[in-house]
Structure 1
Amino acid sequence: MLKKEEEKLNQIKNAVVELNILALETTKDVIGCLNGNNIECLKDIKISAKKAHSKSVEIDNMIVTAFALYHPEAKDLREMLSYLKITNEFARIIDNIRTFLKKFTANYTKDIEKDQILEYTTPMVKSCYESLLAINEMIALEDDYEAIEKLYQRISIEESKTDDLYAMIEKNILNAMNMNTELSLEYFNILSALRRIERFADRTLSIASILMFAKTGKELEQL
């Protein structure tokens, strides 16, 4: 790889990490509010979809420029193309966080079963946070295929945890809706908000899958 091409690839990777940090910092703020049982605090969390979109466009333009100037070889081409897909996944994650915050805070009223909801919501968000941390580690690694695969498996486990937690809280919320029909709309909207966290987890696993292919050339069925 030419020195300038290597520098450009590193710039792209650093920009992707910056995009991930935007999601990481917001997710950490959400966890802090949930741990303190402070739902009002969630209303103060600001996440800029515009900023995330601008960063995604910036990364995409960097990649297109690298294609035009350097004609990267197979491995570098594969990695750059992967980052094009990853920026789209991060945009979805940011949107999922924003929608969760909006729906959750609007429907978390004094009459619903708060403790039960937080019992599942907090670990769901924490799993997403752990996955984002692992994604940053994956981006930084080169040629250590065993470490990359371990990080992928770590993210896969966190995603499975989120799925299991969502399935449990979904069952509990549906039961609560049947017992408190006057609060059905609030419970339904809370469930819809939590669905966004489950999708958040799905997106982190998608990013991990893309990075696995980018770094090792392995499709998932080869693992």
Structure 2
Amino acid sequence: MLPRYETKLREIQGMIAEIIQKEVTANRMALEAYTAKSAEGFEAATDTLKMIENDGNTVDNEIVKTFALFGPEAQELRGLVAYLKMTNELVRIAEGTKKYARRIRELLQSDCDLEPFDNAIVQLHKSVVNALACIHTCVSDIANCDVEETYRKVMVEESKNDDLFAILEKDIMSMIISEHELSAEYVRMLGTLRKLERVCDRAVNVANLLMFEQKGGKLQSY
């Protein structure tokens, strides 16, 4: 039988893995909704994330209780601190995904033409899903996870994401200049896609925290 502290830590890891799984699912649903141009699909994606803030608070409360009950040693303390900071990143990922889904749904129903950007937007989506799925795989089996390899994979997806967003930004800025009557809509599109780009940035932050948990050092080193 595992010691009580280790049992509690695995319980916390499992709760975090469930949050990440919801975010993977929601982002996959948003990708499918974008491909199908389905307003209902975006609504379903946001519904999937409705309780993430409550889930995050529940995890944080469990972490605080673990601090109080077990008085963990230095290495164990590092893991709990990493998870405490991780829930904040995960809640922000959920908020970014929900805002993106709501806004892109509205843009699809406007006069704004997204079709010229379809391929890049789909690829932007895929890089987000891949980064989150990679983190979920690691957290779900943390004992056997190579955190350095996970970090590298997430960084590859984030690099792709940045390059895609830079291309989209340039193309959309051209539309803002040429399509004067719809310039406000294209500005809104750019801000909306930035929400998706930021989700991938936050996935890197989660990967950083996994590195910190396993390798130690200073948080800012990652």
Structure-1 residue corresponding to 2:71: 71
- Say whether the 8 Å CA contact 1:212–1:218 is kept in structure 2: no
One-letter amino acid of the structure 2 residue matched with residue 24 of structure 1 = V
Q: Distance in 1 between matches of 2:138 and 2:217?
A: 14
Superposed CA offset, 1:76-122 (max 9, x none): 11011100000000110111011111211212356433222221111
Distance 1:118 1:97, change over 3 A: same
Distance 1:40 1:10, change over 3 A: closer
Structure-2 residue corresponding to 1:41: 41
Q: Distance in 2 between matches of 1:28 and 1:87?
A: 21
- Say whether the 8 Å CA contact 1:142–1:215 is kept in structure 2: no
1:45-194, aligned counterparts within 5 Å? 45-47=45-47, 50-109=50-109, 111-139=111-139, 140-142=141-143, 147-194=146-193
One-letter amino acid of the structure 2 residue matched with residue 152 of structure 1 = Y
One-letter amino acid of the structure 1 residue matched with residue 26 of structure 2 = T
Q: Distance in 2 between matches of 1:170 and 1:222?
A: 30
CA shift for structure 1 position 176: 0.7
CA shift for structure 1 position 59: 0.5
One-letter amino acid of the structure 2 residue matched with residue 20 of structure 1 = I
- Say whether the 8 Å CA contact 1:108–1:186 is kept in structure 2: no
* Aligned positions, number: 220
One-letter amino acid of the structure 1 residue matched with residue 74 of structure 2 = A
Q: Distance in 1 between matches of 2:219 and 2:67?
A: 26
One-letter amino acid of the structure 2 residue matched with residue 212 of structure 1 = M
- Say whether the 8 Å CA contact 1:108–1:190 is kept in structure 2: no
- Say whether the 8 Å CA contact 2:37–2:108 is kept in structure 1: no
Q: Distance in 2 between matches of 1:124 and 1:158?
A: 9
One-letter amino acid of the structure 1 residue matched with residue 56 of structure 2 = S
Secondary structure of 2:65's match? helix
The TM-score, its normalising length taken from structure 2, stands at 0.91
Structure-2 residue corresponding to 1:203: 202
After TM superposition, the structure 1 stretch with the greater mean CA deviation from structure 2, 46-55 or 120-129, is 46-55
Distance 1:193 1:73, change over 3 A: same
Structure 2, unmatched stretches of 5+, are none
One-letter amino acid of the structure 1 residue matched with residue 125 of structure 2 = V
Distance 1:111 1:32, change over 3 A: same
Q: Distance in 1 between matches of 2:143 and 2:41?
A: 39
Structure 1, unmatched stretches of 5+, are none
